[in-house]
Amino acid sequence: MIHREFCLWLDGFFSLENNASKLTPKQLNIIDSHLNLVKLIDGELQGFPKWLKVMITPRLSDSHFFDQTKIENLTLEIKTQLVSFNILTLSRQPYSSER
């Protein structure tokens, strides 16, 4: 999975979750696993995927993080950054599945 495919997948993930106001620990782990796929294919994370990895990695092991307000704030920030990234980056590039 390349970074563009990840961003499209994450956008779909939020759509399927009916724009959930907060991510669960399981959902964050799923997102983290998909980020690892991007790193495997692209070699390193850049842009939005890099930002997201930095944001969620320390929280995956912090049991105190998952209170209502903190996780809602992170979820909102992820959605906002994803929309910004999609508008600025994805709309300018024709999609090609060739690597």
Proportion of the chain in helix, strand, coil states, percent, rounded to 5:
70, 0, 30
pLDDT in tens, 27-70: 889 999 999 999 999 999 999 999 999 999 888 887 666 677 78
Q: Confidence class of residue 26 from pLDDT cuts 50, 70 and 90?
A: confident
Whole-number percent of the chain with pLDDT over 70: 80
Query: Would you list the domain boundaries of the chain?
Result: 3-89
How many whole angstroms separate alpha carbon 97 and alpha carbon 60? 31
Greatest Cα pair distance, the chain, in angstroms, is 42
pTM of the predicted model as reported, rounded to 2 decimal places: 0.78
